[in-house]
Structure 1
């Protein structure tokens, strides 16, 4: 079973304004080890009026929809809502018939879709602090904010711009100590 590493982020522009639409985006950097090298792909989606939490769920759903066969998925996000929800809350909600102890489940439709989409994969959920200098998370943030701003989508996995983005950041003196993942044990 192939291992896929994903760094995803979400963006919602204008959260501070309650009287107008808040366009959102989600994006991710997908990496897998194949033929002795890292293969990278990107994806992004947008919605014209949404929330950060909804876009965090969309980031996971879009990734899982793009996978063509069962994989081990290491999904890294700065959304505690997504990571805690998938790891901790969702099993309890399912046991209680998709109910919370206190009120309705926000974004229930997306949580239920995520539950189904996860079934054929071995998922690991990891939280990383956002905007803390993690290059992969910062790149995913760039994809998400651009999708929110431009209101477009990748239409699935596309060739990644991570290496070019990283080189541009290094020219600005950032991420000079960042090194590639090492080859995974056993491929």
Structure 2
């Protein structure tokens, strides 16, 4: 039987592009773990993806993961767009490369290990864990520690 893990995620960007951060709250029974990181130059969508990726990749064994996010980009990306992208060899309907392909490939790989249920919530409406993630992600964005090398190389 798979362990049930609750995951709450958020990404933040000060400017878009700009300094960014993500936050993840993982909860298993009464245990809670917070993951966060700040980047010097990135985008909000990349931080939303990194939050989910970080949470999934840190799990040491396959789990049933209940992911709560305020990002329709991530939720729709995984549920609605990724199946088509994979059939089209990671190309959009316009035959262009999928944006943030490096992270979509990581999330695709991470999802293979787990059973996932997605929950979307509106941002900034008082959802306790989402508000906590938002505060932590913004704090990390204000104190970046690493470069988002893919983004910098992609843009420049």
Q: TM-score range by the shorter chain?
A: 0.7 to 0.9
Give, in angstroms, the shift of residue 152 of structure 1: 4.3
Q: Which runs of 4+ in 1 moved over 4 A?
A: none
Give, in angstroms, the shift of residue 125 of structure 1: 1.7
Q: Is the 8 A contact 2:20 2:42 kept in 1?
A: yes
Q: Which ranges in structure 1 are unaligned for 5 or more consecutive residues?
A: 16-20, 154-187
Aligned to 2:71: 79
CA distance in 1 between partners of 2:142 and 2:115 (Å):
33
CA distance in 2 between partners of 1:146 and 1:58 (Å):
16
Q: Tell me how many residue pairs correspond in the alignment.
A: 144
Alignment of 1:64 with 2:56, yes or no, is yes
Instruction: Give 3-state SS (helix, strand or coil) of 2:110's partner.
Output: helix
* TM-score normalised per structure 1: 0.74
Higher helix share: 2
Aligned to 2:100: 107
CA distance in 2 between partners of 1:47 and 1:151 (Å):
5
Aligned to 2:85: 93
Q: Which ranges in structure 2 are unaligned for 5 or more consecutive residues?
A: 147-156
CA distance in 1 between partners of 2:99 and 2:119 (Å):
21
Aligned to 1:14: 15
Give, in angstroms, the shift of residue 39 of structure 1: 1.3
Q: Which whole-Å deviations, capped at 9, do the CAs of 1:78-98 have from their partners, x for residues lacking one?
A: 111001101111011111111
RMSD of Structure 2 on Structure 1 (CA) = 1.3
Instruction: Give 3-state SS (helix, strand or coil) of 2:12's partner.
Output: strand
CA distance in 2 between partners of 1:96 and 1:70 (Å):
28
CA distance in 1 between partners of 2:18 and 2:90 (Å):
28
Aligned to 2:151: none
